[in-house]
Chain A
Amino acid sequence: MKNLMMAIAALLAFAVSPAQAAGKLSIYHWFEYIPQELLDKFSREFDVEVTMDTYDSNESLLAALKAGALGDYDVAVPGDYMVKILNQEGMLDTIGQNELSNRGNILPQWVDVDFDPGRKHSIPYQWGSTGFSVNRNIYQGDINTTAMIFDPPAELKGKINVLDTSGETLTLASIHLGIPQCTQDRDQLKKLDALVQGAKQHWASFNSDGAKDVLVSGDAAVGMIWNGFGAKAREEGAPIEYAFPKEGYIVWMDNVVLLKDAPNRANAIKFMDFLLRPENAAAVTNYARYTAGVKGVEAHLDPALAKSPEQNPPAGQKGFFVEACDAETQPLYDRIWTRLKQ
């Protein structure tokens, strides 16, 4: 009997341990943002066992790293302003000048960026915009204004979903008012507070990870959404159109960063180099429906993307990156957000 138990235990141990790979790579990534086939391809090519955990906002990435996850992961994919914050917090490792053989593939406009001058810690992953999509069966008028969210027409009242993150929702509200982000001006902050307080009665829900589903299911007729996620919602059958509001919208870039104390630094560098190859960057774009920051992806892209309205804004648009407020200003925005969700 004892022998039988031991035999079963040995068999189980054998069954659950994956085939031995030469190395490991531990990724901390957004949800629904990289195709499994691409991870498998990397795994096969470099004989590396890849594990991935996911997060749903830049802030929860920061919180997890602060709470002790630094040292568990090799790479993460923070947005623009969060790259700057992680760097200020000393959580990023520096990539050597000659470590990435495909460094030259980065598009020129993304080589020297404000949030990481000289790209010392990061490479571009994908970029896109945060705006909103409107259900065209319910509303046929002009949708290219942030009033759709903050001062909606009668047809759309009570059918609006906003993202459940203060950064994006309050930034879009600031764009609607035409006031700067991270302001300390009292009149401007009072106007911002009054705007969101007044608009909330027209909102049905605050939902980020379900932003696509509420549009597909018809629970919301207007939904704040990231452009690629909006494209996916449309491709899944939602009769929606992505707006390019005249007041402006949020532009962002996600970046693969090399984390400090990475347990598998060499494999992390290989992975970043792998993602800088045009065919691999294109695979991410084909999956996530955003835009790559790498040269030469066009030949590998899904032809539908070239015509996709979400990826092809009309000329002359105003895009704003989200700013990271300083320690004196951030509590003001936190207070507005808490009052809103009271």
Chain B
Amino acid sequence: MAGGVSSSGGHSVSSAYAAVRNWLLAPSWITIAIFMLGPVLLMAVYSFLTKEFRGGVLWEFSLASYDQFFFDRGLFGDEPPKLHWTYLAIYLRSFIQASVATLLCLAIGFPTAYFIATRPASTRMVWLFLITIPYWVNLLIRTVSMKFLIRDTGPINEWLISFGLLEAPIKMVNTDFAVQLGLFYSYLPFMVLPIYAAVERYDFALSEAAADLYADRWTTLWLVLLPAVRPGIIAGCILVFVPSLGAFLAPDLLGGAKNFMIGSLIEEQFKGAAGNWPFGAACAMVLLTMVLVAVFLYARQQAANARGGG
């Protein structure tokens, strides 16, 4: 990425370099404009168009997609409108699953990252290497393998039964537990790596200083270490939460696709019998808006903290 060049340059760059810097950044700006802003704008426009039967759009302005999202007019569409829970419930479920996955990843990922960062420098790379090995395999293959492990006739259940610990297999596949396990497993390294990077930069002399001042281990963790590595934790949480929100491999393969997730609901509008492109676009816009509002509120709170704490 060309963008990385400028951030590592710092203040020591010559003025000649500063002049060409904008040009060096141009490829990344153009990439963002064409491949990110372009599709988002297209989607925003489509969400306000009229649907054409069986896919496609008519170029007439319409609010029907947003109306369909938020208001329920009954099975036949002629009852008085009331607030619609069908789609909101799908969004809520996706948010809850992504949140639980993030918390699980944090609970396992933080100690792991801390462990790796506190090893001698010579062995750290080996630990990191071990963490990344499973992720050289495609996500789909890993998800299917997970299904093999946890199915009724899979090795986990068969071992437990053969050792006499169980009478009948534990039902794991096609449950919320399986979806949660799949999300957690898929995104764990995204939590470990940024936290590792933050803990590695942490100056452990600070912990010693805290101990010298009679802080116990918990106090040191809460008041000294965690605030220092907070950027890494936040980066990890965002990297796990955002893809979990749109995930549909784990819900489809491990959860049995019984309930729509945000990802599969949107897919159905484009690829399914519904063929309602404007509604699919509106679903995506609602999600985008929710995430943007959350990020905005967070940024504002950070700014307020910075002012208050300065």
Q: How far is the CB of A174 from chain B (nearest CB, A)?
A: 14
A224 CB to closest chain B CB, in angstroms?
A: 13
A333 touches B273 (CB 8 A): yes
Flag if A219 contacts B258 (CB, 8 Å): no
Q: Is the CB of B174 within 8 A of A205?
A: yes
B interface residues, tally (CB under 8 Å): 32
Chain A residues within 8 Å of B174, by CB: 204-205, 219
Report chain A residues within 8 Å CB of B273.
59, 165-167, 330, 333-334, 337
CB proximity to B under 8 Å, residues A185-212: 186, 189-190, 193, 200, 203-207, 210
Among B75, B90, B272, point to the contact of A189 (Cβ < 8 A): B75
Q: CB-nearest residue of chain B relative to A327? A: B53
Mark B156-171 against chain A: 1 for CB-CB distance below 8 A, else 0.
0000000000000001
* Cβ–Cβ < 8 Å partners of A318 in chain B: none
Among A63, A167, A206, A336, the residue within 8 A (CB) of B270 is A63
Interface residues of B in 253-310 (CB under 8 A from A): 253, 256-260, 265, 268, 270-276
Tell me which residues across on chain A come within 8 A of B270, comparing CB atoms. Answer: 63, 67
Interface contact B54-A166, CB-CB below 8 Å? no
Query: Which of B75, B151, B256 makes the CB contact (< 8 A) with A336?
Result: B75
Contact B76 A186 (CB under 8 A): yes
Inter-chain contact A57/B271, CB cutoff 8 Å = yes
B86 at the interface (CB under 8 A from A): yes
Contact in complex: A342, B86 (CB < 8 Å): yes
CA distance A63 to B275 in the complex (A): 7
- Say yes or no: is B246 at the interface (Cβ < 8 Å to chain A): no
- Residue of B whose beta carbon sits closest to that of A219: B151
Show 18 residue pairs from A and B whose CB-CB distance is below 8 angstroms, ordered by the A residue. Answer: A59-B275, A63-B270, A66-B56, A67-B270, A165-B272, A165-B273, A166-B273, A200-B258, A204-B256, A206-B257, A207-B257, A217-B151, A217-B153, A219-B174, A337-B273, A337-B274, A339-B75, A341-B260
Q: Hey, which bits of chain A sit against chain B, CB under 8 A?
A: 57, 59-60, 62-63, 66-67, 85, 89, 158, 161, 164-167, 186, 189-190, 193, 200, 203-207, 210, 217-219, 327, 330-339, 341-342
